[in-house]
Amino acid sequence: MLLYALKRIVYVTPVALGVSIFCFLLFHLAPGDPLTAVMPIDATAAQQAEMRAAYGFDKPLPIQYGIWLWKVLQGDLGQSIASGRPVLSEVGRAVGNSLILASVATLIGFTFGTFFGFVAGYFRNSPLDRFASALSVFGVSVPHYWLGMVLVIVFSAQLGWLPPTGAGPDGSGNWVPDFEHLRYIILPAVTMSVIPMGIISRTVRALVADILNQDFVQALRAKGLGEWGVFKHVVRNAAPTALAVMGLQLGYLLGGSILIETVFSWPGTGFLLNAAIFQRDLPLLQGTILVLAMFFVTLNLVVDVLQTALDPRIQRG
Amino acid sequence: MFRSTRIAVLALAAMAGGLSSGSALASGTLRIGMTASDIPLTTGQTDQGGEGMRFMGYTVYDALINWDLSSFDKPSDLVPGLAASYGVDPADASKNRWVFKIREGVKFHDGSEFTAAAAVWNFDKLLKNDAPQYDQRQSAQGRSRIPAIASYKAVDKYTLEIVTKAPDATLPYQLAWIMMSSPAQWEKLGKNWDAFAKEPSGTGPWKLTLFAPRERAEMVPNKDYWDKARVPKLDKLVLLPLPEANARVAALRAGQVDWIEAPAPDAVESLKKTKFNIVINAYPHNWTWHLSRAPGSPWNDIKVRKAANLAIDREGMKELLQGLMIPAEGFMPPGHQWFGKPSFKVKYDQAEAKKLLAEAGYSTSKPLVVKALISASGSGQMQPLPMNEFVQQNLGEVGVKVEFEVVDWNQLINIWRAGATDPASKTGHSINFTYFVQDPFTGFIRHLQCDLKAPKGTNWGHYCDPEMDKLLDAVKTTFDPKEQLAVLQKVHEKYVDEALFLMVTHDVNARAISPKVKGFIQAKNWFQDFSPITMDK
């Protein structure tokens, strides 16, 4: 088992290296000068050259990459061109905020998705099924940013119940799950939850329908088990797959959503990426994407190892 | 069942009451939604362009020479700031030596005194690479603003000397960019600009009390501010970065902020209907097409330039922008102190435009084909796509067929710096680039002086006219303000009479404000004064 885990870690190394090269090169292929957005328009050529040298942009690309990678390996993602702050602290703060938002969105999505999925699965082809299925189709197909705007218009602009932007009355610095802060998270989290809700709902519906058609359910009923008892068996059988889907959705949501976080000015990774793209803040872009990519690489590694621990047949395969 | 439904309704109602945004805020707090995506640099020399200086420059800091932001009607001009008086040394025949008498008794927020030595320390912060306090980030923002300075020194505690590289009467305008940070605070915080950014100290009317990067900045009044007329009346000023236009409007409607910068034009009418005030005023902003004057450019023909200027239906464009623009009558906004009396009237006259084009050899059946470089968005660019398409349609109606080369905003900046003859300009005949035209350099000199042809300067079109150069030199060598004003008017008259640009419109610095906000006077300036504002309960 340990050997397998070590092997997987070794396999991850070239993937991580590839990700780092991709992150580094991607933004150097785009036209324009990364320092354009931060220097006054009248900056002379000499001043631009001085800044370029200060940030190391005057060196050949392979050398720039080498220096960047060496710093990254030491935990230094560089400094944001636009803000001058260390990229690591900027990304760290944003990842924390996206984690809060993703967790709440996943909770909402899983709760409602499972509920609608069970209802639809249990009452197949009934009006309830059609209603729940329509909701799940709406969830996976509605444009996020549009839904976000509609919710803002209704609950913030018209009713004045919920704040439309930000992460708290004093920002996200001292975020605690109290009433004041939760008010700020409701709209973005609901907006973000509709896709996982739709996916989980459709998955659970199919699972429940499949389980209900299996022989053991007939047997349980034939033995005189009540509907509540049957339901508990169905839940137990559907749970592993539903949880796996939820885990995947949480992973996607942790990456942040540029559109949702921008619409709600939620200071997570999506909001940070949006700012970095518009300001062409290369170190910040590279750092944020690298951290997110490495997060997924690590997540995959952990899942692989865990799956093997739970089911040794995978390792043998 | 009925009882539980009733409880749910009551709970919802109570929640709605409790959730009502803004109910617990103090009456004297003004919350502003900025267009910036981050809090501007707080250490003194701000970033984020004009918005940075507006919210973090002239609030927390002062310059030696400030802008007068007290009037809605009068043109905004320079006034003494941390320098109580200043001028060229009459004893210096070269007219390079300036003497500044420092205002006595001015204190930084940390209690230390502003002196001539502090001013020198601040110039070193930007210009002297080996100075301990040299700050690359502030230098990147400030160094290019003061190109005239050759040297500087503190003559005594309250006398500062600045020597220019050549006689330059525009030095006061350049100095109005330079914000003075506290040397004592920097020392106290371990000579660390990152620490200073969290606890900045200037001499300005506001003190920064909270700095949450990308989320929030809070300021309270500096009750000991040296200019008693500008001591803030509010309890607190809160700045929130809200880069998305719809998010700003939603935050205003929900009562989360009291003021938003640059509301989207299509939201203006509905905001007015819901009692929000749309505040606008002329200010030195310009939306033009810079014309290539490289050999072979069709814009070298004055008839073509004038015809294009007469072909634009500016009132129609104003309707397109929901009234949020001032139709151009010249290069500077109408009523500007430098406007003068140009003889060529910039107006909409299709017949005259067609006549001039016919004289130049073009017509709708034999159109002139030009290529225009534009961006789809960008800081201060207003609504570049629909506006440029409007211009394209207008020009097409008189016989000028426009082909667009649409590039990313940052790329457009690079093209502007590179110049019309650079391959980056892709043989474009014009570039739609908007900017700040608040001082003689940014307003006139940088665009058309011969020795500032791009890439050396930002004379994108490579225009060069010895007569214009003489006038621009005269701006720099005329030290009497009245005489200098007359020269600036002559420059503008030449700009207009020779139709050196396609002059389309000026932005109006629009902001949407809650009716609770009282006392705001929107000056004809990129920067604004928040001191006179109060909030109704």
State pLDDT tens for residues B311-367. Answer: 999 999 999 998 999 999 999 999 899 999 999 999 999 999 999 999 999 999 999
Nearest to A40 among B144, B216, B253 (CB): B144
User: How many other C-beta atoms are found inside a 10 Å radius of the C-beta of residue A89?
Assistant: 12
Of all residues in chain A, the one with the smallest CA distance to B418 is A45
Give residue A256's pLDDT band: very low, low, confident or very high (50, 70, 90): low
pLDDT value at residue B6: 40
Burial of residue B485 (CB within 10 Å: 0-12, 13-18, 19+) is middle
- On whether any CB of chain A is under 8 Å from the CB of B242, the answer is yes
Peptide bond into B455 cis (omega under 30): yes
Which residue of B134, B209, B214 to mutate against A (max A Cβ within 10 Å)? B214
Helices A127-141 and A179-212 sit at what angle, rounded to 10 degrees?
A: 120
Query: CB–CB of A274 and B254 under 8 A?
Result: no
In percent, the amount of chain A with pLDDT more than 70 equals 94
d(CA B184, CA A194): 54
pLDDT class for B458, splitting at 50, 70, 90? confident
Instruction: Determine which of B47, B211, B275, B460 to mutate to test the interface with A (most A C-beta atoms within 10 Å).
Output: B47
For residue range A110-159, list pLDDT tens digits in order.
999 999 998 898 888 889 889 888 888 888 888 888 899 899 989 988 88
Answer yes or no: is pLDDT of A299 > 90: no
Instruction: Please check the confidence at residue A37 and state whether its pLDDT lies above 90.
Output: no
pLDDT tens profile A186-238:
999 999 999 889 999 999 999 998 998 889 988 988 888 888 888 888 888 88
Per residue in B265-307, pLDDT (tens digit) is: 889 999 999 889 999 998 888 899 999 999 999 999 999 999 9
Considering only CB atoms, which chain A residues are within 8 Å of B435? Answer: 41
Does the pLDDT at position B397 exceed 60? yes
Kindly indicate the confidence band of residue A281, based on its pLDDT and cuts at 50, 70 and 90.
Answer: confident
Task: For residue B52, list chain A residues with Cβ-Cβ distance below 8 A.
Answer: none
The average pLDDT across B145-174 equals 96
CA dihedral defined by B510, B505, B485, B97, rounded to 10 degrees?
70
Q: How confident is the model at residue B9 (pLDDT cuts 50, 70, 90)?
A: very low
Asked whether residue B167 carries a pLDDT value surpassing 90, the answer given is yes
Q: Is the pTM of this model over 0.95?
A: no
Across residues B247-261, what is the average pLDDT?
92
**Does B198 contact chain A (CB < 8 Å)?**
no
Residue B217 touches chain A, beta carbons under 8 Å: no
Of A37, A38, A162, Cβ closest to residue B19: A162
Q: Given this model, what pLDDT does residue A169 score?
A: 82
Of A41, A79, A146, A174, which to mutate for an interface test with B (greatest number of B Cβ within 10 Å)? Answer: A41
Average pLDDT over residues B394-419: 90
Single-letter amino acid, residue B132: P
Helices and strands (DSSP H and E) totals, chain A:
13, 0
Phi-psi region of B45 (alpha: psi -120 to 50; beta: other; left: phi over 0): beta
**Helix (H/G/I), strand (E/B), else coil: B71:** coil
Q: According to the model, what pLDDT value does residue A122 have?
A: 86
Neighbours of B1 (CB within 10 A): 5
B411 pLDDT exceeds 60?
yes
Structure confidence by residue, pLDDT tens digits, B331-340: 999 989 999 9
SS3 A94: helix
Is residue B26 scored above 70 in pLDDT? no
Q: Which of B137, B255, B455 sits opposite A84 (nearest CB)?
A: B137
Residue B20 with chain A: CB contacts under 8 Å: 160-161
Whole-number pLDDT of residue B515: 95
pLDDT tens digits for B106-150?
A: 999 999 999 999 999 999 999 999 999 999 889 888 888 898 999
Q: How far is Cα B240 from Cα B230, in angstroms, rounded to an integer? A: 23
Residues B481, A30: Cα–Cα separation, whole Å: 47
- All residues of chain B having their beta carbon less than 8 Å from the beta carbon of residue A166 are 215-216, 240, 256
Which chain B residues contact residue A173 at CB under 8 A? 212, 215
- Decide which of B95 and B48 is more confident: B95
Cβ within 8 Å, pair A41-B254 = no
In terms of CA atoms, which chain A residue is nearest residue B33? Answer: A165
* Predicted local distance difference test score (pLDDT) of residue A58: 84
- For residues A46 and A68, give the distance between their C-alpha atoms in angstroms, rounded to a whole number: 25
Percent of chain B with pLDDT over 90: 76
Is the minimum CB–CB distance between B247 and chain A shorter than 8 Å?
yes
What percent of chain B stands above pLDDT 70?
Answer: 95
pLDDT of residue A314: 61
Whether pLDDT at B14 is above 50: no
Q: Does residue B432 register a pLDDT over 70? A: yes
ipTM of the complex: 0.76
Look at residue A226 in the predicted model and tell me its pLDDT. 86
Chain B residues in contact with A32 (beta carbon < 8 A): 408, 410-411, 413-414
Q: Indicate the Cα dihedral angle A190, A192, A198, A200, nearest 10°.
A: -100
Is-contact A49 A58, C-beta < 8 A?
A: yes
Size of interface A-B (CB pairs under 8 A): 160
Provide the pLDDT for residue B100.
98
pLDDT band at B405 (very low <50, low <70, confident <90, very high): very high
Asked if residue A27 has pLDDT above 80, the reply is no
Measure B364 CA to nearest chain A CA, in Å: 36
Give whole-number Cα distances, B23 to A187, A199, B18, B518, in Å: 19, 39, 9, 19
Q: How close is the nearest chain A Cα to the Cα of B209, in Å?
A: 12
Residue B366 burial by Cβ neighbours in a 10 Å radius (0-12, 13-18, 19+): exposed
**Mean pLDDT calculated for residue range B412-438:** 90
Mean pLDDT along residues B480-498: 96
Residue type, A268: G
Alpha-carbon torsion B334, B337, B339, B340, what sign? positive
DSSP secondary structure string for all residues of B283-306: -SEEEEEEE--STT-GGGSHHHHH
| Number of H-type helices and E-type strands within chain B | 18, 21
CB-based contact A44 B254, cutoff 8 Å:
no
Environment class of B227 (CB within 10 Å of its CB; exposed 0-12, middle 13-18, buried 19+): middle
Chain A environment of B147 (Cβ under 8 Å):
44
The residue of chain A with its CA nearest to that of B15 is: A161
Instruction: With CB atoms and an 8 Å threshold, state whether A157 touches B254.
Output: yes
Within the 34-73 window of chain B, which residues sit less than 8 Å (CB to CB) from chain A?
Answer: 37-38, 41, 47
Reported as a pLDDT band with limits 50, 70 and 90, residue B25 is very low
Which residue type sits at A74?
A: Q
Judge contact between B33 and B42, C-beta under 8 A.
no
> Model confidence at A12, in pLDDT bands (50, 70, 90)?
confident
> What residues of chain B lie within 8 A of the CB of A267, using their CB?
214-215
**Residues B169-211: pLDDT tens digits?**
999 999 999 999 999 999 999 999 999 999 999 999 999 999 9
